[in-house]
Structure 1
Amino acid sequence: MLRTRNPVHALTAADRDDALEVCARNLPANVFVAARLLEGVLTTQPGTVLGHRVDGRLQSLCWSSANLVPVEADEADIAFFADRVRRWRRHCASILGPADQVAELWRHLAPAWGPARAVRADQPLMSAMDLPSSLGVDLDPRVRPATTDEVDLVMPAAAHMFEGEIGYPPYSGSGAAYRTALLALIDRGHTFVVVEDGAVIFKADVGSVALGCAQLQGVWLAPHLRGQGLAVPLMASVVEQVMATRAKWVTLYVNDFNTSARATYTKVGFEDVGSFSTVLL
């Protein structure tokens, strides 16, 4: 039997505008990939973004690096993407994105890639477009962008957040590469902190910015300060500053079982606009 040629291809710099148009169809869900496109990944990391064209029109994408992120993909697209990446298991740590697309992609890949370490099937995707101050939410004046000389203060907080979320440390042995990644976020003004007595007690990062939309990640409050009513003004201050300096549309996604975080984000002005899933490998 002849095998049908897979129509998926690696995108090049010439495809950038078409790829951004695909991302813009649902920007809160696709801002991660849109940001990487604007950062020039099609030139600096060729082969990282796969695309499927139908009758000349770019229909869908799949970010294919340390994680897989489907973008605007229907069942047929996902079958093609899965066939293309099936042999890449050892390069991939997770699959994440819109819940329906992730579930379908995992259905195709699970027989070869499973079992997963964990499947977070319902992670509400939340969006805010109003300044928290305009909603009457108090802002914590201590929140500010971290400075590059504070990277070694940020690192323990970031590592604690990562391990609590993912279930294993972000690095083993030397933390040099992890430190470099944190420093890059700080250098771009994308890490917000509160520092007290020489320690970071709160942090949040802007993981992606594209087309007027920003996505927050890495939100962490020191355990001994939780449950004291601090989270709402802290997050409100981050969102206020991001809206004033980065993008007027702010998004994030959160585990459905993290009811306290969801309540905090709702009080800050976020609303549910979709559902993400993450498959941890």
Structure 2
Amino acid sequence: MLTLPVRQLAEADRAAVERLLAAYPIAAAQVAERVAIRGLGWRADGRLYGYGSRRQPEAVLWSGGQVSPVGADAAAVAAFAEMVSGQPRVCASLVGESGAVLGLWDLLRPAWGPERTVRADQPLLVVETPPAVAADPLVRQVRPDEVDLVFPASVAMYTEEVGVSPLGDDGGRGYRGRVAELVKAGRSYARIVDGTVVFKAELAVVTRHTAQVQGVWVDPSWRGRGFAIAGMAAVVRDALRRVAPTVSLYVNDFNTPARRVYQRLGFRQVGAFATVLF
């Protein structure tokens, strides 16, 4: 077997890893937040592999509940695939820069397949200035005592977006914990009318470079009335003021209504993601 320059990284490599991640301030946000919060020691909730020299890796691969490559060219993708293909698949998804994710999946599919779906083109968008459109004044941060109110909306959003329920074998305890965590951190937003969540969104990832929005959802009976654009305008304004210098997200290429909303809010494309779901 060909010896490849891949190794598991540890806390001693953290400075080098952070330099690499800083070169991809938007695309690497998900990995960067995990490293910032958990580090690379025993507390980490996954493993980080590095490709290249011991002093400064050229690319990294996060492997945990999600697998995400950062900075990986074809040689790095091949090296990472060889490293992890002998391990059982424990992740629920592969997410990251489209070329790297699709290349990785081509090599991993024989060992890890089949996939449930592949979303090959997800424009990666960013905005640095407050939107020119009016913000919904009723969109606000969700309070800790409203977790039970927003949780069903979160389940509906996840099921609609991913195609499966997040409740799983634990009856939703793990997913509810994640919803509650975002609420407690002041990263969950909603417009609530008479006990109904009309609009919701979360800052699912926050780094010193960007706040990444996920979970954007409008109740089906309220759609078509402009709540998405006004709600997102409120989220973007608050995130830029209070959280990070940019707001970012990635969206399915086939979701034309959402892409129109983000265009009107001033988002511009800076790359493309792909997601493989199991």
TM bucket (normalised to shorter chain) is over 0.9
Work out the percentage of aligned pairs sharing the same amino acid.
41
2:153 match = 157
Match of 2:259 in 1: 262
Q: 1:245 aligns with which of 242, 256, 270?
A: 242
Correspondence for 2:202: 205
Whichever residue aligns with residue 81 of structure 2, its letter is: A
Is 1:19–2:10 an aligned residue pair? Answer: no
Residue 215 (str. 1) matches residue 212 (str. 2): yes
1:5 aligns with 2:6: no
* Structure 2 residue aligned with 1:77: 76
CA deviation profile, 1:146-175 (whole Å, cap 9, x unmatched): 111111111111111111111110023522
Structure 1 residue 7: Cα displacement: 2.6
RMSD: 1.4
CA distance in 1, matches of 2:54, 2:188: 42
SS class of match (2:87): helix
Residue range with higher mean Cα deviation, 206-215 or 248-257: 206-215
**1:275 corresponds to which residue?**
272
Distance 1:103 1:175 in 2: 30
Change (3 A) 1:7 1:163: same
The one-letter code of the counterpart of 2:7 is H
How many residues are paired up?
276
CA contact (8 A) 1:126 1:273 kept: yes
1:178, 1:235 → 2: CA distance?
23
Corresponding residue SS for 2:154: helix
Partner of 1:39: 37
What residue ranges of structure 1 are gaps of 5+ in the alignment? none
In the alignment, is the contact (CA less than 8 A) between 1:12 and 1:46 conserved in 2?
A: no
Displacement after TM superposition at 1:177 (Å): 1.6
**After alignment, is 247-256 or 195-204 more displaced?**
195-204
Q: Secondary structure at the match of 2:167?
A: coil
CA spacing shift, 1:122–1:260, aligned 2, 3 Å: same
Identify the match of residue 28 of structure 2 among 17, 27, 30: 30
Give the equivalent residue in structure 1 for 2:224. Answer: 227
Cα distance, 1:6 vs. partner?
3.8
Shift of 1:212: 2.5
How far apart are the structure 2 equivalents of 1:16 and 1:280?
A: 29
Determine if contact 1:28/1:251 at 8 Å carries over to the other structure: yes
Output the amino acid matched with 1:256: D
SS at match of 2:89: helix
1:270 is displaced (CA, Å) by 0.4
Return the alpha-carbon distance in structure 2 between the equivalents of residues 41 and 198 of structure 1.
39
Task: Give, in angstroms, the shift of residue 46 of structure 1.
Answer: 6.7
3-state SS, counterpart of residue 197 of structure 2 = strand
- TM superposition shift of 1:56: 2.8
* 1:88 aligned counterpart, secondary structure: coil
Q: Is the partner of 1:201 in helix, strand or coil? A: strand
Counterparts of 1:211 and 1:53, CA distance in 2: 26
Partner of 2:107: 108
For 2:10, give the aligned amino acid: T
1:145 is matched with which residue? 141
Q: Which amino acid aligns with 1:208?
A: V
More helix by percentage: 1
Q: How does 1:88-107 map to 2 (within 5 A)?
A: 88-107=87-106
Taking the aligned partners of 1:113 and 1:9, their CA distance within structure 2 comes to 21
User: Displacement, 1:83?
Assistant: 1.3
Asked if 1 retains the 8 angstrom alpha-carbon contact of 2:88 and 2:112, the reply is yes
Could you say what secondary structure the match of 1:219 adopts?
strand
Secondary structure at the residue paired with 2:103?
helix
Distance 2:46 2:111 in 1: 22
Contact 1:10 1:47 in 2 (8 A): no
Q: Against the structure 1 CA distance between its residues 28 and 15, is the aligned structure 2 distance closer, same or farther, given a 3 Å change threshold?
A: same
Query: Could you say which residue in structure 1 is the equivalent of 2:128?
Result: 129
Q: CA–CA distance in 1 between the matches of 2:21 and 2:203? A: 18
Residues 11 and 47, structure 1, Cα contact 8 Å, conserved in 2: no
How big is each residue's C-alpha offset from its partner over 1:199-248, in whole Å with a ceiling of 9 and x where there is no partner?
22211111111122111101111011111122111100000000011002
Aligned pairs for 1:189-200 (under 5 A) are: 189-200=186-197
